[in-house]
Copies of this chain bind each other. A is one copy, B any other.
């Protein structure tokens, strides 16, 4: 109801003052350690502790002391110069933006390119991405989607172990590096989507529970303790993540957020965290005059997430549709294990072309239950499809891409199926030239027990599959290095051909009215008896 909640974090103002705000509703005292001094904070009735201090400069390091305990980093830190266990640092948010004319991009016209900052280029930085923006522009994509950049333990991580959701991993280039990337991308007409994780927090460097009831045991989450979105004291937790989302979209000019695994954002309250977030994002759209998109990943085949609010939905702009991938992958590879046991027939892909979801209430053998519902009347533009992505490649035992399995002609078939499909297409970095290097799972936690737990977890994850070979060691730097793109298209003629084919398809898609995302009435699946052929017709509105 009351939108006047204090912004958490350290806010550096002109004149070398800085306001520090931290939420810790159960602490009796909170003080700030900075520049060798300890400053007490004052608390409001909601548990927000605050102090404004003069004489602060960007780069000054600080920690909080709760009830006389050990000094801790700020959970809303935007800079962890010495890693996740070290102190937080005051950052200067000022940046000279030159994207004033940028309006963002509407959903329907997006062609998205997912990348992992650390392995996309040899440098593994935002600067590295900036140097490749010309290449991406030539490819024709008009949005990049960054795997999570929130600060995590160690140097190497997919990003889903982040423990400072407001901080940008220092090795990638920190907050100014990210702003530079967004500004340059906008200059080239490319939107920037950021993957954010609001369903759990990473295991290493996670100081949240010392600050307050950030977690709940009402729900059993897969990866870690569930975040408290609906239990006592959830207001401060909800605010924390709302503020996080808005910070990226507003201060960083980010165009959209890919919300990781929202089925694990448990909220049984009357105003769902995501519905309220969508309202706040729409307010920001109005205020900035720019498209701001929320794209949810979830594994429920429940149209409610992207359904309009008037029809009882949460109103999110879009969602990932894994089943398009599964249907396509199972047909072209013939794989039948794990979740692919629910796919592999031609009608599965036809069904996804028709209704995005394949399972709309049928029995799923893999899930051992009836599953899903029909997203009736929801346009294709609200569904992002892909033939590969970080999960579908990286969560294979060897992290092998389709290039390992498929013939060259089959790769082209996959490309065309994706890019001519009615859904918003997403490519995974390197897919466009048939990258042969794998994308494997890597971490660089400091705790050996944790590394062993990760190794064990990977083995567990693969038990449903009949994959052969040794699991690459997630903690080895070789695994990280092996996952870097080779960029070999300039020396490999077939890679060059495939790249040109992707360029052609993307250009075709963008220039043909019939291939722009439309309502479901503008696609026909053609009845062809030969089960080796799927044909569909798309027409303009």
Contact = CB atoms under 8 A, between A and B. Distances in A.
Interface of A: 1, 217-220, 230-235, 263, 268-271, 300-304, 307, 310-313, 361-363, 367-373
Given A1-B361, A217-B220, A218-B220, A270 B371 contact: yes
Nearest to A364: B232
A294 B192 CA distance: 48
Nearest to A25: B368
B269 A235 contact: no
Contacts of A302: 268-270
A159 B231 CA distance: 28
Contacts of A217: 220
5 contacts: A218-B220, A219-B220, A231-B369, A232-B369, A307-B312
Given A233-B369, A268-B300, A268-B302, 10 more contacts: A1-B361, A220-B220, A232-B367, A232-B369, A234-B369, A235-B363, A269-B300, A269-B302, A269-B369, A310-B311
Contacts of A370: 1, 235, 271
User: Do most interface residues of chain A lie in helix, strand or loop, or is the interface mixed?
Assistant: loop
A369 B229 CA distance: 10
Given A219-B218, A269-B302, A362 B307 contact: no
Given A218-B219, A219-B218, A270 B368 contact: no
A421 to B, nearest CB: 22
A126 to B, nearest CB: 37
From A230, A269, A363, name the one whose CB has the most chain B CB atoms within 10 angstroms: A269
Contacts of A218: 219-220
Contact of A304 (B235, B270, B303, B307): B270
Nearest to A303: B270
The 9 nearest A-B residue pairs measured at CB: A312-B312, A270-B373, A270-B302, A232-B368, A1-B361, A234-B369, A235-B369, A311-B312, A270-B372
A231 B269 CA distance: 21
A302 B220 CA distance: 23
A446 B271 CA distance: 43
A372 B177 CA distance: 42
A507 B181 CA distance: 74
Contact of A361 (B232, B271, B371): B271
A312 to B, nearest CB: 1
A268 B312 CA distance: 15
A270 B363 CA distance: 13
Contacts of A268: 263, 300, 302
Contacts of A313: 312
A219 to B, nearest CB: 6
A313 to B, nearest CB: 6
Contacts of A373: 270-271
A230 B370 CA distance: 9
A270 B307 CA distance: 12
A199 to B, nearest CB: 13
A21 B271 CA distance: 42
Contacts of A363: 1, 235
A298 to B, nearest CB: 10
Contacts of A362: 1
